[in-house]
């Protein structure tokens, strides 16, 4: 059969998806002995790949970093996805050009793209260059207008029209397999817009649902006392505050600092750890003294598992990791961010986590919520956690076509 060569493109912002991509890659290696995987991503995902000993495509440093566009589009802890998409058009063009040049000189047996919508568009526009199966991974469907601005509503309608293009089943979509990380109920049961198809119906027709993908087995992280000891923490209550893999969230981190200073007066032995991530310098954040501050933390999920409570932005990755680990958490969705608004809808429906909004909250309110949540008996409903295996099994079938 010969050695199979895979190009894996991890296109999510920050660190949201690189760990799930590594989990899928690990399962692929189990199913396809000797498979060769090359990676294409931007910083900070490239740091995780390098630490894991993975092989990057030569010249990968030229791949455009969309985190810069997101950080420019953000206003404090608010990020409008449409504004981000408009600002990232230049990066999309660079990435399309890089990708088309790459596949013209290197032969791959399979290409996987995690939230690489620009690659999907490139293959739609240049079908003659597609001589390999293409797998698209995604975890949300469609954009929402988050304001009454008519220009935003028009822009959202345009993007949703492009998104729903593949529902014309008489036309073959650019991807050979679309994997949805999650369940059908995670997708709003509504249309993309006037005259456009229903989102959930489109997903059921075109996507394969795999449940959730984690870089860990939840059952192996149930002993908090043991985990605390292994990670160098003492037995006192542990609070983790994290903002994810972009620089967006400085405002939330400093807000948490003020709240934790209040919590410290009520729970003197609490150990608060502030994780600023790889793109926000720890020393640049204004936090009260007496707390531990860290930058990039590899395998942050281990610290989530050891913690007694966490405060995070409302991204899907951290939220569902904490849910799988049965760790109580409070989340602040990025305001104006329709994807995180949908994540919030899913969490509320399942009774997972405690939602707060930064614009309508005070440090005192967060402190009170931390204290009350820390002392509560929390059990989240179980969620399917074998998505990496299911994804790899579905991908492997493409080699037999």
Q: And the tokens for 51?
A: 């630490």
Q: What is the pLDDT of residue 354?
A: 96
| CA–CA dist 298, 48 (Å, integer) | 8
Looking up tokens 């709003």 gives 188
Q: What is the pLDDT of residue 400?
A: 67
Please, which residues have CB within 8 angstroms of residue 65's CB and are 6 or more apart in sequence?
42, 43, 91
DSSP-assigned states of every residue in 218-273: GGGS--HHHHHHHTT--SS-EEEEE--SSSTTHHHHHHHHHHHHHHHHHSTT-EEE
Q: What is the pTM of this model?
A: 0.92
Phi, psi (rounded to 5 degrees) for 357: -115, 130
188, burial (CB in 10 Å: exposed 0-12, middle 13-18, buried 19+)? middle
Q: What is the pLDDT of residue 68?
A: 66
| 2: region left, alpha or beta (phi > 0 left; psi from -120 to 50 alpha) | left
| CA–CA dist 21, 112 (Å, integer) | 10
C-alpha triplet 222, 225, 226: angle, nearest 5°: 75
Domains, the chain, ranges and CATH?
Answer: 5-214+386-400 (3.40.50.2000), 218-374 (3.40.50.2000)
Looking up tokens 């294409």 gives 40
Which of 147, 150, 111 has the alpha carbon at shortest distance from 129?
111
| CA–CA dist 381, 124 (Å, integer) | 40
Displacement of CA 200 from its chain's centroid (Å):
20
| CA–CA dist 374, 376 (Å, integer) | 6
Q: And the tokens for 163?
A: 């998104």
Please, which residues have CB within 8 angstroms of residue 196's CB and are 6 or more apart in sequence?
160, 161, 164
Q: What is the dihedral of CA 163, 168, 172, 177, to 10 degrees?
A: 50
Are 244 and 315 contacting, i.e. CB atoms less than 8 angstroms apart? Answer: yes
Tens place of pLDDT per residue across the chain (401 aa): 578 999 999 987 768 789 999 999 999 999 999 999 999 998 888 989 999 999 999 988 888 777 666 666 667 666 666 676 666 677 888 889 999 999 999 999 999 999 998 899 899 999 999 999 999 999 999 988 888 888 888 888 988 998 888 666 556 889 999 999 999 999 999 999 999 999 999 999 999 999 999 999 999 999 999 999 999 999 999 999 998 777 678 899 999 999 999 999 999 999 999 999 877 888 888 998 889 999 889 899 999 999 999 999 988 899 999 999 999 999 999 887 778 889 999 999 999 999 999 999 999 999 999 999 997 888 999 899 999 999 999 999 998 65
Q: How many CB atoms lie within 10 A of CB 61?
A: 11
Q: What is the pLDDT of residue 108?
A: 96
| CA–CA dist 58, 373 (Å, integer) | 48
Q: And the tokens for 94?
A: 């660079």
What share of residues in the chain are helix, strand, coil (percent, to 5)? Answer: 45, 15, 40
CB half-sphere exposure, 109, CA atoms < 13 A: 17
Residue 190 has what DSSP assignment?
S
Q: What is the pLDDT of residue 175?
A: 94
| CA–CA dist 181, 398 (Å, integer) | 18
């Amino acid at each position: 059969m010969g050695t199979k060569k895979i190009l894996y493109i991890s296109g999510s912002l920050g660190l949201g998806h690189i760990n799930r991509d590594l989990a899928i890659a690990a399962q692929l290696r189990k199913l396809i002995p000797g498979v060769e995987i090359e990676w294409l991503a931007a910083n900070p995902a490239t740091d995780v790949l390098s630490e894991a000993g993975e092989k990057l495509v030569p010249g990968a440093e030229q791949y455009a970093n969309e985190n810069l566009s997101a950080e420019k589009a953000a206003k404090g802890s608010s990020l409008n996805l449409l504004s981000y998409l408009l600002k990232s058009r230049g990066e999309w063009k660079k990435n399309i050009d890089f990708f088309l040049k790459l596949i013209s000189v290197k032969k791959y047996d399979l290409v996987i793209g995690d939230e690489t919508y620009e690659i999907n568009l490139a293959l739609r526009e240049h079908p003659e260059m597609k001589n390999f199966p293409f797998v698209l991974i995604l975890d949300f469907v469609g954009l929402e207008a988050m304001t009454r601005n008519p220009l935003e509503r028009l822009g959202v309608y345009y993007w949703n029209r492009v998104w729903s293009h593949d529902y014309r089943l008489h036309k073959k979509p650019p991807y050979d397999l679309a994997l949805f990380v999650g369940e059908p109920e995670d997708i709003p049961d509504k249309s993309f817009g006037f005259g456009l198809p229903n989102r959930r119906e489109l997903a059921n027709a075109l996507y394969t649902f795999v449940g959730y993908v984690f870089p860990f087995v939840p059952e192996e992280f149930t002993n908090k006392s043991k985990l605390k000891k292994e990670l160098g923490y003492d037995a006192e209550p542990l609070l983790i505050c994290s903002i994810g893999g972009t620089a967006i969230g400085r405002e939330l981190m400093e807000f948490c600092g003020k709240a934790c200073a209040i919590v410290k007066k009520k729970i003197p032995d609490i150990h608060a750890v502030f994780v600023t991530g790889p793109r926000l310098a720890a020393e640049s954040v204004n936090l009260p003294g007496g707390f531990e501050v860290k930058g990039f933390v590899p395998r942050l999920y281990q610290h989530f598992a050891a913690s007694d409570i966490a405060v995070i932005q409302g991204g899907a990755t951290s939220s569902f990791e904490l849910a799988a680990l049965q760790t109580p958490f409070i989340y602040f969705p990025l305001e104006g961010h329709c994807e995180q608004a949908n994540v919030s809808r899913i969490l509320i429906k399942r009774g997972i986590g405690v939602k707060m909004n930064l614009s309508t909250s005070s440090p005192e309110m967060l402190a009170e919520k931390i204290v009350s949540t820390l002392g509560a008996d929390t059990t989240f409903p179980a969620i399917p956690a074998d998505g990496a295996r299911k994804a790899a099994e579905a991908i492997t079938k493409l080699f037999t076509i």
